[in-house]
Structures are given as structure tokens and as C-alpha cells.
Structure 1
Amino acid sequence: MTRTGVDSGGTGLRQAGRDITGNVVQAGAVHGDIHFHTTTVSPLSPIVAGPDRAPSDHDAHALTSGSSGRSVVPRSLPRDLAEFTGRESELRRLLIAVGLASGGGATAVAIHAIDGMPGIGKTTLGVHAAHTLAPKYPDGTLFLNLWGHTPGQEPRDPFDALHALMVDIGVRTDVLARHNTLDDRARLWRSLVATRRLLIVLDDAVDHHQVTPLLPGTRGSLVLITSRNRLPGLDGVHPLTLDVLPHADADRMLWRLAHRTPEPAEADHVTRLVDLCGRLPLAIAITASQLRAHPTWPIRRLADTLSARLAQDTDRLEEFDYGDRSVRASFDTSFRDLPADLRSMFTLLGVHHGPEIDAPAAAALAGITPARAQRALDALHVRHLVQETSPGRYRLHDLLRAYAHTHAGRLDPAFRWQATSRALDYYLHTAHAATRVLPARRTRSTPITPTPPAHPTPIATTDHAVDWLTTELPTLATAVEHTHTTHPTHTLHLSNTLYPYFRAVGHWRHSSAMLRTAHTTARRTGDLHAQAAVLNDLGYVRRRQGDLNAALAAQTQAFELHTRSGNPRGQAATLTDLGYVHLLRGELGAARDTSKRAVDLYALGGDLLDHANALNNLGRVHLVRGEVDEAADTLARAVDVYRRSEDPLAQANALNNLGYVHVLRGSPDQAVDTQTRALDLHIRRGDLLGQANAHLGVGIARHRRHEPGPARSHLAHALRLFTRGEDNDGQAETHNALGDLALDQHDGQTAHAHYTTALGLARACGTRLHEANALIGEARCLHGDGDLVQAASRLREALTIQRAMNSHSPQAASTARLLAALDDEQPNH
């Protein structure tokens, strides 16, 4: 009978077997990059029983005794890895579990299974743990490779596995020949080891069917199993699942296996290398072996070379094939063992570009039912070919993703295109359903009717919509990035569909990337209307990111395109957003004129919601200009139009601005009431950035009502939401409000910190209004510290900004009075 030993990656083979006298010849198995040397167990003498009498299980001692009468004590563990690195946490958990079982009066054999994806280091950890535990098991240690994923080998049959185990403890082959059924051999095995304390390592198991007959029947022994598969059918097992190495352990492993002394100058390049390896131990070991073979190579050289090759979109796994080890070969053995339906699903996951997937999306991708897709994903999860990141959601390790992508590239192009189309149809349809229940910020610029998937996901509530969109956002963004050339319509529709979500919750970096791709796609298709719509959306995102110059440029270009294509409604929408950009830039005259043009265009005909938005923006401009009566009138009109629109909750923004009117009129009670109503509406509609604005307004009004505790709570909540939504402008305004509150509480140090932060954010954004307010706040703090010169300097900067914005504004007049009073205080005045 032939026995073969292989490493956990399944890439190196050396033959082993048995000589004609029945001696056991252990394979020179490959363990990582270690070769186990050949050893021989001494032959046994004949047993007492004659040839006509079959031995019974009670002959156990005779069956395993040599001529000296001493039992054979097997020591067949492969040698431990001298450079074993990491896995301290996993090893500690395993040793503690074994110790608790042995010290707690366990009544059954202790079974521990180490499972994980190919190349994760299961065998290495199992052997290292076995060497650590071996002294506790005086009757010997056994190591048996079950060939679960060995190239060119069928998994070892339990009948043959029992033969190998019992020969290793000294049972003669002629005795085993008379136990010619699996049950007979299993019974004999249990009898032989019943009174022994053995440590048995069963390496590379397929499933519980292969393992169960090999287990001792009584307590005292320890069984360590390694497997690429989870073993849910093996009762009483203690599973230990291995993940990729933590960054520090991965770095240390590369240093040690490469036989390099850690150098600070190379540390970043080592981290780059292990990240390119996906922190997979097998890939790290292969990379380290290249460095070991080329001691003159700087680590940076290999890191740069590998990065450059991968950037060329080549087959990534080619870079992890060196000597007799290969990540691809390790993956191949798992892939080839899959049933046809699972091979198909795994391959299609290489078509899917998102970082995660769930059963409904996988069903659309494969053209099957969600129930079948769920079963397939579960089966791949059992085999460690996908990872479950949260209930019902799965991802591929980076190298497994590259492997799946390679297989997907071999599919018929038409079949691959159809699979991608089905997945994009599913995502677009579900995103459309989700954004329809979100608060409507404006009328959709390009109404669409998505193609319904075979098995749509229903979304009826705002919470469900936000949860789904937030969860799937990375996948949607990646889908747009990778499919815009093959599926341009899906790209444009997804960017347009997701815009209401971005306006509600932020995520500007994702939004910006998607809109840039959509703009490129729209230009390529020559669609002027789509180009204008995308540019206007991109301008809004740039404004929320704090890049007012880019916002102005994008929306000016959008307005020109709407004019060229004869789209007055698009012109009005762009003017509404442009007015707000001018407002933030401190260009109050342009802000008023632009916003009035938008209101007038909508008055000629247009959606009520869009008209109300334009009125709301104009009211905000009047507020900043200090035109309180005009602001109150305009905002009241906005509230009335909002109430007549299809979305009565949209009045929240206007109510919030009306609250500021009440603050300026010295009516903080009315302000609190109005802005609390706005906050309640934003909460009901699930509008996170709207909630942030409302919390800011309520906080300012509470401050004016001399309620510092509630004011601070609302402002802190606003800051958290603005930060979460990546809204730098909102953060600047909130820091100014927190500075005002702290200063009135005589906490000058905290106030100064808030104003300084607000000033930095405002200058980065180009928001002149908030910059001036931050400078005035700093001046007040410096005045309190007695630094009159610097205080006056800050006030002069603020006054210059305010006069440039509106020389006749009440804010400018107030700052001028403060500066005059400060000048009077200075001794040399």
C-alpha cells in the first residue's frame, strides 16, 4: 500500500510505503518548507496465537508487543518549525481548551479541529501544538495525513487509515488482514488505545465521515484534526478557525522566513509585501523564499516589482508560485473537489466585483433562486472558500478572489456579460426601490424604470432602505468602477438613483468617485442631459466636501449644458445649488441674484418640491445678508409650498431656517419650537444630514435660551452626524457654535480650541462666512487672555471678509463696533 505525505498547500510530494518485511517507512513529507526525513519502525515478532486461531480484541497487548515484551511507543510527528511565527492567540486558546478538558474530568476523548482556507497554516499550527502537548501523552504521538486535498491522490479511506494507525503502534499486518471490515478494524483500534494516552494528529481531513472511525472511544487521548472544511457533523469537536495573520505577525513571519534582520527603513516595504500576499501564510512563505534565495535583493525591490506587476492586471497568483510551492496549486485542489454547481457559483463570484455578496445578489448573478444561492454560499463557507462577514453576507479572500476572477475570465464572454447584467439589474432595481422611500430632496433629474430581477428584494421602510444602501454601498461603488465601459446605462442610472441617498447621509468620497465615473461615461455616450445632471450632482458633492471652487466650476458647466440642450428645469435646479455655493463663498450679491433666478424659473412651471427648495435657499441667503423680514417672508412661502408638495416632510429644512429667523428676532422660545419640529421631521424621514442641521439649530436656540446642558448635547450630536457624513462645512459651523457656548460658560481654553478647528475647516472649504465667525471667536478668546493686539488683528481679518460679502450687513457693523471698542482699550490708542 502506498502512502504519500504532502504539505498543507498540497504542492510537494514524496513517496512512502512499506518494505517486504512489513516495516513501516514514513514518508519524507513536505511541511511548509520543511522536509521530514525517512524513519523506520522495528518489525514485530510473531504473536502467540497460531494460524488457525484468529486473534481477539483481548489480544491487544500481544498484538502490540515486541520480543522484549515492551509496547511500541510511536513518535511520528513531523519536526516542529523552528521559525514558527504568530498564532500565539490561537495556540493559547487551544492549549487552554485542552487543559480544561483534561483537568475537568472529561468523560470522552478530547477532539479539536483546526480549520481554515488553503494555505492558512493549519498543519503548521497543528504540528507545533502537538509538539508542545506531547509530554502530556506518554504513550506516544501519531501523525497521519488523510490526503483530503493532495494532488494525484484520492482522500484516504478510513479502512486504510486505520491500517496505517495500527501499524504505527505496532500491530502486525497479518493480524490486520484478518480484520477485513471497517467496523472490525475500528473496534480493534478502540480496544488497542482504550488504556493509552495518545496524541493523534489527523491532517487534512475531508469530513466527519472520514474521521469518525479513527477516533478513540475512551477518554485520555487527544485528537487534533486539521481540515480545509468545517466539520459540523462531528459532534463533540472543539473548532478553531484560522484567519489571515494580523499585520504584526505577518510582518514578523516574512522577516524570519526570509532570514532578514528587521530594519526600520524596510518596515513599510515588508508591510506592503504581506498585504500583497493577503497576509496568507503560504503566500508569505513563498515570497520569503524568494528573498532567501536572493539575499542581495532589497525588500523594497521585491515589493515594488510585485506592486507593478499586479497593477498591470495580470494573473495575480503567478507571483506566488516559486520552487515546489504554489498558492494556485493549493487552491486548485479545493476547486477540483467541488461539485459542479459549487464550481459554477465560485467561478461566478469572480464575475462579481463587490467586496461582499448575499444570497439575493448571488441568485441574480447565477440565475437561480435565492434559496439555492444560499445553499451554495453555505457550502462554500463550509469549505472555507468564502468567509461569512456577518449573518448572510460573504466575501472572498483577496487571493481567492483573484483565483475566481481567473476562472471567470475563461467563461464565454456572452455568458459573463449576461451574469453581470443580471447582477446590475438586481442592484439597480433594489437601489431604486430603496431611494424611493427616502426623503425626496428634489425631483429625479432622469426618471428611470429599472428592469425587475427574477427575485426582487422588497423594501418598504426608511430604516430598511438606509440599512440596505449603507451595507451595499461599497459593492455598488465597485460595480460602477468595473462595469462602466461594458454597461454604461447601468452606471448612469446607478449614479442618478443613489443621489438622494448621498444627500441624506453623506459618504461623499464614494459619491464623488461614482459621479466622476458617471461623468466620463456620459461624455463618452455624448448625452448632454446626462452630463449636465451628473455635473450638477458632482458640484453638490464637491460643496459638501468643502471644495467650493470645484463646486462652482462643475455647476457652472452644468448650467451651460442645460442651456445648450434647452432644459429650463435643469437650469433652475443648477441655479438653486449655485446660489448656495455663492453664499458659502461669501458672494452674497451673486447668491441672491442666482437664487431669485431659480425661484422665477420654477414659478413659470415645475415641480413643487424643486420650487420650495429654491425658495428655501433664497431665504437662507436673506438670513446671511441680515435681511430678516425678507428671510421670514421667503421661508414662510417655502414652508407653504413644501406642504402642498407630495412630500410634506420636506418642509423640515425651511422650518430649521425659520428657527434662525426667530433667533435673530430675539425669540428663542419660538426658535426652539420651530427647530424641534424640524428635527422630528428629519428623524421620521431618516435624513441624517438633515438631523445634523436640525440639532445644530436646536443647539444654538437652546444656547440663546440659556440652557447650556441641552445646547451642548444637541451640538455634540450635530458634530457626530456631520463628521459621520464627511461634511466639513457643517463641522466648521458646529465648532463655531460650540466655541460660542464654551466662551459664555467662561471656558476660554475649550472655546479657543473649537474656534481654531472651525477656522481650519472653513479655510479648507473656502467658506468665508464660517471663517469670519471663527476669527471673531478667536478674537474674543484672545481679548479674554489680555492679548489685545492679536485680538484686534483677528477682528480686522473678519471685518475684511464680512465687508467683501456685504458691506452693509449687520454682522459687519457689529464687528466694526467690537474692533473700535478694542482699539479704545489698547494703551497706545
Structure 2
Amino acid sequence: MRVELRVLGQVEVFVDGTRVDLGHARQRYVLATLLVEANQVVSTDQLVDRIWGERPPRRARQLVSNYLSRLRILLSASGVADEVVIERRGGGYVLLAAPGQVDVHRFRRLVADARADADEVHASELLEQAAQVWRGEALAGLDTPWIATLRQELERERFAADTDRLELALRQGRHAALLPELTTRAQAHPLDERITAQLMLALYRSGRQADALERYERLRVLLAEELGVDPRPPLRELHQRMLAADPGLAAQENRSPVVPRQLPAAPALFTGRTLELAELDRALTGARNGRATAGTVVISAIGGAGGIGKTWLALTWAHRNLHRFPDGQLFVDLHGFSPTGRLTEPADALRGFLNALGQDADHLPSDLDAAASLYRSLVAGKRMLVVLDNAATADQVVPLLPGSPDCTVLVTGRTTLSSLIDRHGARHLPLDVLTHGEARALLATRLGERRINAEPGLTDDLIELCGRHPLALAITVRHATTHPTIPLAEHTAELRDLGLAVLDHDIDPTASLPAVLSWSLHHLTDEQRVTFALLGIAPGPDIDLPTAAALTGLSPARTRKVLRALEEHSLLDRHPHGRFRMHDLVRSYAAETARDLLEPVRRAAVDRVVDFYLHTTDAADRLLEPHRPPIPLDPPAPGVHPHPLTDRATTLAWLDVHHPHLLAAQHTAAAHDRPQVVWHLAWALATFHLRRGHRHDDLAVWQAAVDAAERLPDPAALVHARRRLGHAHAELGQHEQAVAHLHRALAVAEDHHDPAQQARTHHALAWAWGQQGDNRQALAHARRAVALLRDLDEPVWEADALNTVGWHAAHLGDYDTARSHCRAALDLHRHQQDRDGEADCLDSLGFIAHRTGDHRRAIDHYREALALFRSVGNAVEAAVTLENLGHPHVALGEVAQARSVWREALELYRQQGRDNDVARVQRQLDDLDRSAAQPAERALHGVHHLGGR
């Protein structure tokens, strides 16, 4: 918090640039008295005397007490009660404040330091700062005898300090810039010999010797007429030296000009950013080697989210390269993103630069263009560095750009500042989070290698919980260093449990990650702020344009503009293939801001995005498995348009990309009490999960679907959910759970006299028992499924059941039965144009041919099945068929072909996380290496396809 207490002008109090209302006019008299003597007790009688003089009102002491009470209330309400305190002590009162907060004390300290400083350049800078403290007549608007006396005393102090300032400025060769101010002072003080001497010297050094001599003659006459005296010796001596054209007067013009050194201190313990520092070096080298267009300025605009370390990088690089800028460095904080939300105006920044370059504060151009022109003239041809920190808009930056290619400018800000790139050739250097190695180095530098090496796994967790975000890491380091006895495990647990709340700070907003992030929202429109909040609660790790349009309810064109604006403000990152992603901590903050939205707004957005995912996934499932019986869906929320999918290839590509979002959408639907959607999403994902081998995810979505179906009135939904859950358990080798769920599904189907669900559940039980190698149990359930399905008009399901009967019959040695059932199933699938089912049957026929010694026919069947599986994108079943295909190749002694297909199967199994299958195929490959002539263990067995719809 920045507190300013002013008497050198009007009596005012400012908090972070905002003026505090001081209430009753007399309260300003009280405050002025206490400010002038800050940290010293002022008696009540003195207060009465200074406020009212010789005619105090009745009950004056009580009025003073009342005024002070009101001042305390006003100061407390403004939030400065901890920094500015008014206390009653002894027989009076004291105002406690840091000396630097009161302008009169800051002025006096600067003047005293300047007069004690042997370095004239630094002393001159201190006096320039002292002059800037004044904002007009001291104690303006107040009038009592004591104040009138004090005002005169302060004006004398100001006059003396200005005289010293001008003296030093003349010694540094700034005579031309000082002429307007010196002329005005000489007119205001016509009998002051020191002022006349300074004006004469400035005129003389500006080549105006006659004017300088005329000024002396004018003063001599005035002194004789008014006071009857002659000028004193110092002025007479100066006059004689000018008449003699003393070269010593002109030689002083060669003094070194003012070299501004405005850079703040370099960040302590800076680590990492090697690539970014090198990029800044390249930007400067390119400019120096003439690769920049003549007359342009090479700018490295450093972008990045709040707290990412832009200023630290800029200052670190600047201090490491000071030798490259012998003519000085200028720095200004443009307050683009700060607690107050008030931008630094370019005119104010220019005034600061011009003062630093030796221009008099009281005689600067008032027009922005004129000030910018003067600034460009002063830095022309100089090798200077200009750091424009925390910029929000290009309008803030452009007037501060030098016109000389010898100057280098660093701009930091959270926005991209596109026009700087387009019109001024700026090089954009986006700043991301630290690498893991850089983050670890930061922790090691500040906490010590011993502490972080003691718990390396914990250190890695801490880094990832902070998202490798520099400010988050810095805050965590502060917590750890200020509480050295608390293990890192506790800090890690707090971050894991409380998240962003641990990185907050109630008192200092610059030490709070949520506060720093909040400043990025100051320049957003309401529409952009709402979108930012909604992105925080959107399901999935990232988002694309169609999904974002559904989330926001805006048109795609409008959504694109809003996303681009958030990207420009470093709140959103764009990734390849049209994906947009937030940093995890930024997203957590966005989710926090979403709580401020009205519940109907938030709920409608969630419903839209979930419906978008559901209806798009349902359409995808119909493309992948057109023979699967559809389930009716409620219409999507108003304004939702499912993403158009045209063929199986684009469908699988969309599902591959959006799979994590669809899982998250199901969780979101469950959290928002939409059980029908939970069940429907599980249904719509089933085919994709089967073909891509997402077995663990399939188990999770069907467990959620069972929980949801138990709340729905439709028993068929519960039967189907339990059946699919049982199937998912069986895929993972969890036989007991699989059979338990399948029998519970069968019981519900039988209780509700649903033959179709009974048949499908028997089919699933056949597959589960087959996974256990119990072909007799499997065959019994498969036959029961066929019997039930013959009375139903479901040819695809009947074909699946027939194929399952054939598969298990073959394993029991009944090859005639097996062959007839599989061929009947193949005919049905071909008639229905069901390529998945057709491939399953061909795989079964390949196994039968292999078992009966017709290995070449087996190879033909397997290859035909493989081609069909690949045509529909069924990588899971393709892997199984590849494995089966290897066995007849081994039987025929075709070792190379067997090795080739098994290696391909092995790679697919690995990609699908099927560890048991990987181990089995690896054993078969090892067998080939040991003996190419000996069939592998499972050469007469085969692997059954997953089955089930």
C-alpha cells in the first residue's frame, strides 16, 4: 500500500493514488499541524493556537478532539490505520508515520542528502527529486497567522533548494535548458545577485554575451537607485571575466551531461530463463549489427501472465548488460496491471524521463507531442536502454519510444501489444512457466540443496502443485523460509488440499497470486470476464472453438474474438489444432471467479457444454457402430449445435482428442444432478472405448452409469449399465466382480420380463466365462442367448451370439458345430453390412481352420478380418487378430511372418495398456527365437475377441 501525506500544495492524503476525503475544512488545519511535526507531540494548546490564532471559539479544545476523532475514522476507513496513526500523548497529540510518507519531510531529507553528497551528479538528481515533491503553494487554501509564517519559511527553503539545484545544473552544462526558468526567477527577484549571476552565466554560455552584460548593468542601476550600493565582489568578478572573455567560463560547458540511472535493483537470487536471456541478447545484437531497418527501434516486448517473472527477467538482463548502455538507463512502471487499476499516462512518464535527462520540471512542454519530441531529441544518437514495465496498451508505449536506432527498449506487459509488433517491428518474447529444472534450481537457491534433497519426491510434487509458476514458487519459498521448522511435506499437503488459497495474502496484494491474477481482469469487458470465468469450470483439460461457443452461448465468430482477447491478455494459451488451454493456477482462479456469476448463468453454461459433448458423442457412436440400437436423447439446450462429423476417420480423430473432456463431462453431469446424461454418455462412449482399448476408463464410466441408472425409472438402463460394468470388469481380469454384476443385471432383466436384455446379458456372461477358460459355461450362456434372440428381430445381436457359440464349440473340439454357427453368423453380418461383426466371424473361422490343420485358409481368414478391423478403426480387435494370425504362420514354418505380425500386435497391446497380452506375446516371440520350428504355447488356442455391444 502506498500512502502519501501532503502539505506542499493542498493538504491531502492519498492511498494508492486515490485521494482521501478529509471532511470538515478545520480538520485539514489539524492534520497540517500534525504533518509538519510528524512523530512529535503537539500540545492541545498549540493546536488551538495554530488553527484559530488569537480568537479561538468556545470549547476549542473539545473541537480539536472531535476533529481528531473524525480524522482517525477517515484514515481507518481508507485502510491506512496501520501505517498512519494519531495518538493522544501527554497533553497533546502525535501523528506517527514513516518520514518518507510526509512530503515536507521527504523534501527536507532529499535537500539535506544532496548538500552532503560529494557526487555532484547524484546531488543534482536528489535536488531534482526534491523539486518534484512540490505541487504548488504550501498549505494552499489555509490561512492563520501560524500557517502564514510557516508558508513563508517553507518557501524560503524551496527557494534555497532551487538555487542550489540550478547551480549544480549549470555546472553540468545544462544552461540552455535552464534559461526559461532562470529568466522567470530573475524577474521575480530582481535584486537577488545570485540569481542574476546564474542567469548571466546561462546567457553567456548560450552565446549571448551582450545579453549577459546587459543583465549585469540593469542590476547595478537598480541596486544604486533602490539601495544605494554596488554589486558585491562575486558578481563584479563574474562581470569582469565575461568582459575579458575568460575561457574558464566556457570550459565548464564540457562537463559530463546527466546520465540517468533509473533501473531498480536487480532481482536477488535470480535463476533460470537461460533461453529468454539469450533471445534478448540476440535482439540487441541484431540491432547493433544493422539488421534492423534504419530509423526503427528494436523492441523486445516480454509477454506473459501475472507473476510469471517478466519484470525480473527484464531487470536481470538490463543489469547484466549495463556496459552496453553508457549513456544511461530510463525506467518507468506504467501500472498497466496494478491494485489501483490506474494507468500511468504517457505524459507523466515523459515528464519523469525529461527530468532524469536534465530538463527543468517547471518548464517542460505541456503538450504530449511536444514533450515526446523533446524526449526524442535528447536521446538521439545515445546508446541508452529504456525499460517500459507493466504496459497495458500500445498507446502508453508509443510516445515513449525513442526515434534513434541506437536506443534499445524493453517493454513488459500481460498483453501482446500487437500494434508494436505490426508497426514498430517489436520482437515478441512470450514468457511461459519455468522448466522443471529451473523450478528446482529456484527452490535449491532459496531453500538450500540439503533441504530439497532430503525429500526429492516431495520437491517434485511441490513444483508441480505450483505449476512451475514463478510467483507461486516464490510464495511457497516464503512460507518455507519463514517457517523453517515445518517440513516441506506440510507445505505440499496444504497446496494439495487448499490450492490457490495457500497462495493468497490478505495484506500485501503483490504477494498474493490471486490478487496479481485479478489485475489482468481490469481491462476486460464484461463478456470477456464471464467467458474467462466459464472456462475455469468447463470440463476437460482444454477447449476448442466449437465447445467454447457452446459453453458461452455466443456465436463462433464472437467466441473467437473473446478467446483471442483472453489470449492477448495472457490468460489463455493457444495450442496447435485450435486448442486453448489455461495454466492450472490461472484456471483455478477462473473457477473461483465463476462463483461470482449468477447461478442460472453458470448452470446454463454447464448444461450447454455437457449437451454439446453428449450429442456430438452420440452422433460419433452412430457413425462407428450403425447397427447398435440407438437410445433416445432429450434435445440439446437452446443454442447448442453438435459438432458435425462426416466419416469414421474424422469421428475417431475427434473422439481421440476429446476423450478426456467426455470423461470430465460425465463427472460434471453427475455433479449437476443429471443422471440421464451420465448414463447416456457411458452408452455413447462404449464403442469407442472398445475399439481403442480404454478399459480402465470404460470401467469408470459404467460404474458412474450404474450409480445414475439406479436413480432412473427405466429398468433397461440399469440392466444395460450393470451388464456393461460386468463386461468392463471381465476385460480387466476381475472375474468375480464381472460375474456378480452380470448376474445382478440378468436378475433385473428376468424380473421385468425383458428377453432382449436377458439375451445380451447371457452373451456377456459367455464372454466372461470364456475369459476364464471355462468354455462349457461360456457355451451354455451363448446357446441361451441364441435361443432368446431367435424370437426377437435383432439380427446383429443374433449373429454375435451365433459366432460366440461357434467359438466355444471349436475350443471344445466340436468343429462342425463351430463352423456352421460361425458361417451362419457371417452371412447375417454381411447381410446387415456390419463390418465389425463380419471381421469377428472371419477371425473365428480362421481359428477353426487353424485347429483343423488348414493353416493357409486360416491365414486368409485372419487377413480378411484384419483388413475389416482396420477399415473401421478398431485397433483393439486388430491387435487380437494380429496375434492369432501368427499361429498358422508358425505352423507353416513361416517364422519371419509370425515374428512380424506378433511384433505389431505387441506394440498395439502396449499402446492400449494390456499388460497380460503384452507378456503373452513376448513369450511367443521368445519361443520363436529359441526354436523357429516349435509352435508357441498358444498356437493351438487362439485369443477370443472382446465381443459385446
Q: What TM bracket, shorter-length normalisation?
A: 0.7 to 0.9
Q: Secondary structure at the match of 1:511?
A: helix
Equivalent in the alignment of 2:504: 320
Aligned to 1:476: 662
Shift of 1:426: 1.0
Shift of 1:458: 0.9
Q: Which structure has more RCO (C-alpha within 8 Å, separation ≥ 6)?
A: 1
Kept in 1: contact 2:330–2:353 (CA 8 A): yes
State yes or no: 1:304 paired with 2:493: yes
Q: Is the 8 A contact 1:736 1:773 kept in 2?
A: no
Residue number in structure 1 paired with 2:381:
195
- Does 1:448 find its partner at 2:636? no
Task: Indicate the residue corresponding to 1:811 in structure 2.
Answer: none
Q: What residue is the counterpart of 2:169 in the other structure?
A: 44
Q: Which residue does the alignment assign to 2:874?
A: 687
Conserved? CA contact 1:348–1:365, under 8 Å: yes
| Number of aligned residue pairs | 723
Q: 1:329 to 1:309 in 2, by over 3 A?
A: closer
Matches within 5 A, 1:623-662: 623-662=810-849
Pick from 579, 588, 596 the counterpart of residue 783 of structure 2.
Answer: 596
The residue number in structure 2 matching 1:237 is 426
Partner Cα separation in structure 2 for residue 527 and residue 256 of structure 1: 62
- The verdict on how the C-alpha distance between 1:397 and 1:437 changes in structure 2, with shifts beyond 3 A counting, is same
Query: Which secondary structure does the structure 1 equivalent of 2:537 belong to?
Result: coil
Which residue of structure 2 lines up, in the alignment, with residue 136 of structure 1? 324
Are residues 16 and 371 of structure 1, via their aligned partners in 2, closer, same or farther at CA, if it must alter by over 3 Å?
A: farther
Partner of 1:115: 303
- 1:730-741 mapped onto 2 (5 Å cutoff): 730-741=917-928
Provide the residue aligned with 1:670 in structure 2.
857
Counterpart of 1:272? 461
Aligned to 1:23, what secondary structure does the other structure show? Answer: helix
Residues 287 and 405, structure 2, Cα contact 8 Å, conserved in 1: no
Worse-matched range after superposition: 626-635 or 467-476: 626-635
Distance in 1 (CA, whole Å) between partners of 2:597 and 2:416 is 29
Determine whether 1:464 maps to 2:592.
no
Q: Secondary structure at the match of 2:710?
A: helix
Which letter does structure 2 place at the counterpart of 1:622?
A: A
Q: Distance in 1 between matches of 2:797 and 2:260?
A: 83
Match of 1:534 among 721, 737, 740: 721
Alignment of 1:559 onto 2:746: yes
| Deviation, structure 1 residue 432 | 0.9
Measure the CA separation in 2 of the matches of 1:271 and 1:580. Answer: 44
One-letter code aligned to 1:297: I
The TM-score with structure 2 as length reference comes to: 0.71
Aligned to 2:614: 428
Tell me by how many angstroms 1:474 deviates.
Answer: 0.9
Give how far 1:734 is off.
3.1
Instruction: List aligned pairs for 1:139-178, cutoff 5 A.
Output: 139-176=327-364
**Residues 278 and 397 of structure 1 are in contact (CA less than 8 Å); yes or no, is this contact kept in structure 2?**
yes
Question: Structure 1 residue 627: deviation in Å?
Answer: 3.1
1:291 aligned to 476, 480, 487, which one? 480
Counterpart in the other structure of 2:229: none
Deviation (angstroms), 1:576? 1.2
SS in 2 for 1:385: coil
Distance in 2 between residues matched to 1:118 and 1:15, nearest whole Å: 28
Contact 2:465–2:496, Cα closer than 8 Å, also in 1: yes
Report sequence identity in percent.
Answer: 32
Q: Is the CA contact (8 Å cut-off) linking 2:311 and 2:412 kept in structure 1? A: yes
Moved more, 146-155 or 92-101: 92-101
What residue is the counterpart of 1:211 in the other structure? 397
Matched with 1:185 is 371
Whether the 8 Å contact between 1:66 and 1:72 is mirrored in structure 2 is no
- Tell me if the contact between 1:22 and 1:173 (Cα under 8 Å) persists in the aligned partners: no
Equivalent in the alignment of 2:709: 522
- Shift of residue 719 of structure 1? 2.0
Once residues 275 and 481 of structure 1 are traced to their aligned partners in structure 2, the CA distance between those partners, rounded to angstroms, is 24
- 698, 701, 710: which is aligned to 1:511? 698
What is the identity, as a one-letter code, of the residue corresponding to 1:135? H
Q: Is the 8 A contact 2:692 2:874 kept in 1?
A: yes
**Cα distance change on mapping 1:265 and 1:513 into 2, 3 Å:** farther
Q: Are the structure 2 counterparts of residues 180 and 618 from structure 1 closer, same or farther at C-alpha, using a change threshold of 3 Å?
A: same
Between structure 1 and structure 2, the one with the greater Rg is 2
CA deviations on 1:552-588 (whole Å, 9 max, x unpaired) are 2222222222222222111111211211211121212
In structure 1, distance between residues paired with 2:351 and 2:413: 21
Partner residue in 2 for 1:254: 443
Is the partner of 1:437 in helix, strand or coil?
A: helix
Alignment equivalent of 2:769, drawn from 579, 582, 585? 582
Give the distance between the partners of 1:25 and 1:227, measured in 2 at CA: 30
In structure 2, what residue type is equivalent to 1:425? D
Q: Could you say which residue in structure 2 is the equivalent of 1:392?
A: 578
DSSP-derived class of the 1:350 partner:
helix
Match of 1:24 in 2: 129
SS in 2 for 1:139: coil
Shift of 1:119: 0.9
Quote the offset at 1:619 in angstroms: 2.1
Moved more, 509-518 or 199-208: 509-518
TM-score between both structures, scaled by the size of structure 1 = 0.80
CA separation of 1:126/1:626 partners in 2, compared to 1, >3 Å: closer, same or farther? farther
Q: Summarize deviations over 1:761-791 as a string: whole Å, max 9, x none.
A: xxxxxxxxxxx749x9xxxxxxxxxxxxxxx
Write out per-residue CA displacement over residues 412-435 of structure 1, whole angstroms, 9 at most, x where no aligned residue: 223322221111111111111111
Give 2:547's aligned residue.
361
Residue from 570, 575, 579 that aligns with 2:757: 570
The change in CA–CA distance for 1:668 and 1:449 in structure 2 (over 3 A counts) is farther
User: Which residue identity lines up with residue 414 of structure 2 in the other structure?
Assistant: R
How far off is 1:647 after superposition?
A: 2.5
Residue 537 of structure 2 corresponds to residue 348 of structure 1 = no
- 2: CA distance between counterparts of 1:80 and 1:322? 27
Distance 1:624 1:669 in 2: 20
Equivalent residue runs for 1:742-757 within 5 Å = 742-745=929-932
Residue by residue over 1:86-121, the C-alpha shift from the partner in whole angstroms, topping out at 9 and shown as x without a partner, is 222322333244334434544443211211111111
Shift in CA distance, 565/87, structure 1 to aligned 2, threshold 3 Å:
farther
Letter in 2 for 1:127: L
Listed as ranges, the gaps of 5+ residues in structure 2 are 5-13, 18-82, 84-99, 112-125, 133-163, 184-202, 207-250, 942-949
- Tell me if structure 1 keeps the 8 A contact 2:790–2:798: yes
Report if the CA contact (8 A) 1:619-1:630 is conserved.
yes
- What amino acid sits opposite 2:865 in the alignment? A
Task: Report the Cα offset of residue 125 of structure 1.
Answer: 1.1
User: Structure 1 CA distance, aligned partners of 2:624 and 2:756?
Assistant: 22
Runs of 4+ with deviation above 6 angstroms: 1-6, 13-18, 40-43, 65-68
Amino acid at match of 1:294: H
Q: In the superposition, relative to structure 1, how do residues 441 and 624 fare at CA in structure 2: closer, same or farther (>3 Å)?
A: farther
CA deviation map 1:63-105 (0-9, x unaligned): xx99763122222222122211222232233324433443454
Match in the other structure for 1:809: none
1:321 counterpart letter in structure 2: H
SS of the counterpart of 2:574?
strand
- Aligned residue for 1:151, secondary structure, equals coil
Shift of 1:735: 3.0
Aligned amino acid, residue 384 of structure 2: L
Distance 1:148 1:434, change over 3 A: same
Q: Distance in 2 between matches of 1:125 and 1:509?
A: 44
Displacement of 1:495 in angstroms is 0.9
Deviation at 1:252, TM superposition (A): 3.0
